[in-house]
Structure 1
């Protein structure tokens, strides 16, 4: 995470923000800084991904998940991101980053993250991630049991289901086949 000072700020101030449940959205008010910009003087597309890290940290802290995982030495890991940019963010622009868990399958948790300005949605992302223990990735059932969640996953939105299927197909492909398809 290349936003270390902002991450520390999120962690240190999370107690002042409202507690959220496991499936509730967490909203985080942020501001763009000059070092977030690219040569076009708007937030760099790579920086958006770093800003999304802050939202996931905030959600884990405010929902109480962080203490469960920290104690067990489980680390959250992003396994994939699908992003749609809609509007530019300029320097010193205030925005709200909303993060929520949409659901899960056997291996991954799926989240939606949005950056919203007074003019509307600037960016929406679907993120899939898992937790990794010292011995390797954990099934979602183990993670859910640790935090006491017994209900089934909510139905994932159609776009997320299609994206998850595409990720499986990509994982099964031989890299040489993918490169060949790109070159032709």
Structure 2
């Protein structure tokens, strides 16, 4: 229930703040400030792994509102759905620790945007968790969305670790298709 309230709050604030217009370039970082609350904890008194992913959802929605992707995809009857995620937990976030979620589009191909999300502890700027997210577009293409927002721009260089991860997704999909 708390997650739903947080999400509705963030979407409402994001919508009001952007007023339905593009506030950030597609390649700019979107930042949300958060504090680890009691409902975020697991039995070991640090942020539950599932809570990180809930915060990632909110961070991506905020990103799409700020950079205008949400509006452009919606205009053509499309939608955004999470196709895959890769999460690396580096250090715990404990009760009442303030942190920020930095979300950034780092690449796109014919079917998806790839987003990097970092959970950065405010007191020392340590990246406690980093996540790669494949945000698949339905009834829309990333290149078309980017062109509508910014005209023709060069997409970012494909990072080696992202390339390996994309390849692992392709291999997994091929294996699953063979088994079905």
TM-score by length of 2: 0.85
- 2: CA distance between counterparts of 1:173 and 1:40? 37
- 2: CA distance between counterparts of 1:144 and 1:109? 10
- 2: CA distance between counterparts of 1:100 and 1:67? 17
The count of corresponding residues between Structure 1 and Structure 2 is: 173
SS for the counterpart of 2:134 is strand
For the 8 Å contact 2:26–2:146, the answer to whether it is kept is no
CA RMSD of aligned residues (A): 2.4
Segments of structure 2 that go 5 or more residues without pairing to the other structure are: none
Q: Pick which of 45-54 and 148-157 moved more.
A: 148-157
- 2: CA distance between counterparts of 1:67 and 1:139? 14
Q: Which structure 2 residues correspond to residues 2-21 of structure 1 after superposition, within 5 A?
A: 3-14=3-14, 15-16=16-17, 19-21=23-25
TM-score by length of 1: 0.84
Segments of structure 1 that go 5 or more residues without pairing to the other structure are: 178-184
For the 8 Å contact 1:97–1:114, the answer to whether it is kept is yes
Specify whether residues 79 and 2 from structure 1 end up closer, same or farther in structure 2 by C-alpha distance, changes over 3 A only. farther
1:57 paired residue number: 61
Specify whether residues 101 and 2 from structure 1 end up closer, same or farther in structure 2 by C-alpha distance, changes over 3 A only. farther
- 1: CA distance between counterparts of 2:33 and 2:85? 22
